[in-house]
Amino acid sequence: MKYLSPKLLADAIGVSESSLKRWADEGRLAVERTAGGHRRIPLGEAVRFLRQSGMRAVRPELLGLPAGSVGKRRDVTGRESATERLIDALLEDRAADARSLIVSLYTEGAPLGWLLDGPIRESLSHVGGLWEHGAAGVFLEHRATETCSRSLAELRSLMPPAAPDAPVAVGGSYAGDVYHIPPAMVALVLAEAGFQERNLGPDVPVDAMLAAIDHYRPRLAWQCFSIPPASEREAAQDLERIVRRLEGGSLVIGGKASHSLPLLPGVGMVPLGSMTELAAFARGVLAGVEVGTAGTLGVGREGWTGT
Ligand code: B12
């Protein structure tokens, strides 16, 4: 975990060091002390403070965050939606701007589910439609995927570490599914909720998934289906095996190709449609609330009008 001095954080936000120390003394910002008595702020706490206070990092590079020009451009126009700005940056090969936009939306307070289900998913969906128009569309799609993956890793580095006794969640994409962004998104949402996440990535053989469950004894497991499995019937049986192995934990299932799986509705198998639903479900599990499906939680897509 990275630690910041009050001076560094003050410079990054563009406020005086004395204001920052005052906020710390008032308890608005949690600080730790070095052996010599100096204040130090964990990066995750600095990000929490930014998200809650609505302040912006004017010099994000001081916090180790990507610095692009997107923030400035938004101030001038104020009109374009976050998705439109992200699509522009991805298609114009301005990777630094795209990463800066994603991270600054988060540090400015955008709900994680909104950011993942909205701008990131919608931009990838737009860019993903271009492959039909030739090779240039394909390389742009690959570039966009890399840029978004990197942003997800950057967001992950901003999450405070999970408590050592926090429940574990383990999962990945189902065997044969090469898509790596959905499992990374799931891991991010679960980390933000407070789980110790163990993302196994794309194309996880079911036996490896079962071995990971034996190893980690997770409270929650997940399987992503972005492409239809070779056999839907076999996949449904594999999911049953995973649920049984969880011995009371929940198996969350999602992704574009998950809807047609012949799932036997039963205790422990939870199909969900979005990262927003997953965030609500994860919070419920950690709060010890008995929940069946997202439908019973009454969750919807959170709106966010922070920009
Ligand atoms: C990136 C990408 C690729 C990359 C994948 C890189 C990688 N390793 O991850 C590459 C370039 C390899 C690729 C290849 C191909 N792709 Co592709 N790809 C995409 C693209 C652009 C984005 C997919 C993505 O990651 N989106 C981000 C995710 C997070 O969004 P999402 O899947 O919608 O997920 C949301 C929800 O479903 C839910 N969710 C998802 N998973 C889970 C899991 C849980 C537990 C929960 C709770 C929720 C949840 O939350 C998410 C966020 O809201 C899509 C475009 C699109 N419209 O999706 C095409 C797309 C999926 N690809 C497509 C195609 C056709 C292909 C190829 C066949 C192209 C080709 N001719 O070679 C190959 C096949 C690859 C293979 N081996 O199977 C088509 C699929 C068409 C179809 N009807 O099946 C799409 C839709 C593009 C299009 N418009 O035609 N692709």
The residue-averaged pLDDT of 219-247 equals 96
Q: What's the mean pLDDT in 192-221?
A: 97
Residue 95 predicted with pLDDT over 90: yes
Bridge partner list, 170: 198, 221
- What residues contact residue 221 under an 8 Å CB cut-off, 6+ apart? 169, 170, 171, 209, 213, 242, 246, 249, 250, 251, 252
The atom number, within ligand 1, closest to the CA of 272 reads 47
Amino acid at 105: L
Nearest-CA residue for ligand 1 atom 27 is 121
CA–CA gap between residue 162 and residue 183 (Å, rounded) = 18
Least confident of 53-62, 113-122, 200-209, 236-245: 53-62
What is the structure's pLDDT at 302? 44
3-state helix, strand, coil in the chain (%, to 5): 55, 10, 35
> What is the enclosing helix (H) or strand (E) of 4?
strand 3-4
Which ligand 1 atom minimizes the distance to the CA of 281? Answer: 47
Q: Which residues contact 129 (CB under 8 A, 6 or more apart)?
A: 137
- DSSP code of residue 33: E
Is the pLDDT reported for residue 301 higher than 50? no
pLDDT band at 160 (very low <50, low <70, confident <90, very high): confident
Q: Report how far ligand 1's centroid is from the alpha carbon of 88 (Å).
A: 20
Residue 249 has pLDDT above 50, yes or no: yes
Q: Average of pLDDT values for 187-214?
A: 97
Share of the chain above pLDDT 90, in %: 73
Residue 113 Cα to ligand 1 midpoint, Å, equals: 18
